[in-house]
Amino acid sequence: MAGLALLALFAAGTVSYAQAQTVSVYAQGMPRHWQDEFGSTLLDAMSYWEKTIPGLKFELASRMEASDFVVEWASQNEKAKLGYYSTSDLNSYGKPVMAVTLGFFDGGKLQMLSPESALEVTKHELGHAIGMQHSANPDDVMYHTVDDFESLYSVVQVLDGPKNPHAASTKYQELAGSLVVPLEGKITAAKASLGVFSYGNNASDQILEDSWLAYWWAVKYLDYAEKAQMSGGASALQSDYEKSYAEFKAAYEYANLVEQKLALVDENIAKMNALK
C-alpha cells in the first residue's frame, strides 16, 4: 500500500522512474455473459499503465484482504460512461474501491458499453487508483471526459483529535442525522424533475448529461453518508468515540456533498427550462 502513496508523488509530473512497485488488485467476479466482451478489459488497462510507468506492476490478488483496492463492475440507471475511484474504505469491502460501469438501462433494456469505451473508463479509473490526476490534454487517458472521480481524498481526513471525542461524536451525529434524513426524498424529487427532459436538443443535451451525472453522484454520496453513519453508530456503541467522531463527521461531509450535487441539478433544470 505504501507503493500507492509513493507513486502519487511523481504521477503528477512527467513519467519518472519508480523503484519497482507492485499494486495488488482484487477484481470482483464478472457475470459470465459479460466476459466475452469485457473479460480482458482490466488486464488490458493494467498493461497500458505498466507500459506507461516503468517499474509499475499490477497483480491480481486471490484474496481481497491482501489487495490494495477492489475493482467492481456495475450497471447504472442512466446513460453515461461512468467510473470512480474512492480511497475511502467505509464500504462493505473495507478497502478503497474502483468501479467501472459496463452497462446502463435505457427504457428498461440493458445496453452495454462498447469494449473500447469500457477500456477507456477502466484505464482512466485505474490511473486515479495509482495516483494520477486529470490531464488538460484531450488525447490523454486522464482527460476529464466522462465520469467520475471527485476528490474523495479530502472527505475522510486524518483527524485532528478533538479534546472531547465523546462530545464531538455526539455533535456530528446530530449534524449528520438532521442533514441525511431529508436527502432520500430530495433525491427522488430530483430524479422526477430530470425525468421530464429528454435528449435530442443540441443546446441542452450536455446540461442534461451533466445533471444526470450530478444526480448519480448525489445517490453515491448519500450511500457513503449512510454507511458512515452506520459505522459511527456501531463505534459509538463500543464507546470508541474517536472512531465514531471520525465516521459521523465523514457522514456529515458526504451529506453536504449530496446537497451540493442536488443544488447543481436544480441550477441545470432552470437552465434547461430557459432553453426550451
| Minimum distance of Zn ion from residue 144's CB (angstroms) | 6
**DSSP letters of 29-57?**
PPPHHHHHHHTTHHHHHHHHHHHHSTTEE
* 60-68, 146-154, 249-257, 264-272 -> range binding Zn ion (CB under 5 A): 146-154
* 143-151, 172-180, 188-196, 245-253 -> range binding Zn ion (CB under 5 A): 143-151
Q: Does 120 bind Zn ion (CB under 5 A)?
A: no
| Minimum distance of Zn ion from residue 125's CB (angstroms) | 7
Q: Which is nearer to Zn ion, 180 or 264 (CB)?
A: 264
Q: Which is nearer to Zn ion, 149 or 212 (CB)?
A: 149
Q: Which is nearer to Zn ion, 148 or 253 (CB)?
A: 148
First-to-last C-alpha distance (Å) of the chain: 51
Give the H or E element holding residue 23: strand 21-27
* 65-73, 147-155, 166-174, 234-242 -> range binding Zn ion (CB under 5 A): 147-155
* 34-42, 99-107, 140-148, 152-160 -> range binding Zn ion (CB under 5 A): 140-148
Rounded Cα–Cα distance for residues 76 and 115 (Å): 16
Q: Does 149 bind Zn ion (CB under 5 A)?
A: yes
Rounded Cα–Cα distance for residues 66 and 69 (Å): 9
* Among 216, 215, 234, residue whose Cα is nearest residue 226: 234
| Minimum distance of Zn ion from residue 240's CB (angstroms) | 34
Q: Which is nearer to Zn ion, 72 or 148 (CB)?
A: 148
- List phi, psi (to 5°) of 252: -65, -45
DSSP code at position 13 = S
Q: Which residues contact 108 (CB under 8 A, 6 or more apart)?
A: none
Rounded Cα–Cα distance for residues 147 and 121 (Å): 8
Query: In the range 172-231, which residues lie near Zn ion by CB under 5 A?
Result: none
* 44-52, 144-152, 170-178, 209-217 -> range binding Zn ion (CB under 5 A): 144-152
| Minimum distance of Zn ion from residue 132's CB (angstroms) | 9
Q: What dihedral angle (degrees, nearest 10) is formed by the CA atoms of 60, 61, 67, 71?
A: 50
Distances from the Cα of 120 to the Cα of 45, 102, 138, 254, angstroms: 8, 11, 13, 28
Q: Which is nearer to Zn ion, 213 or 255 (CB)?
A: 213
- 228 and 251 in contact (C-beta within 8 Å)? yes
Q: Which is nearer to Zn ion, 81 or 95 (CB)?
A: 81
| Minimum distance of Zn ion from residue 143's CB (angstroms) | 9
- 254 and 225 in contact (C-beta within 8 Å)? yes
Note the residue count of the chain.
276
* 20-28, 92-100, 149-157, 213-221 -> range binding Zn ion (CB under 5 A): 149-157
Among positions 68, 148, 247, 253, the unique one binding Zn ion when judged by CB under 5 A: 148
| Minimum distance of Zn ion from residue 60's CB (angstroms) | 23
Interface residues with Zn ion (CB under 5 A) are 148-149
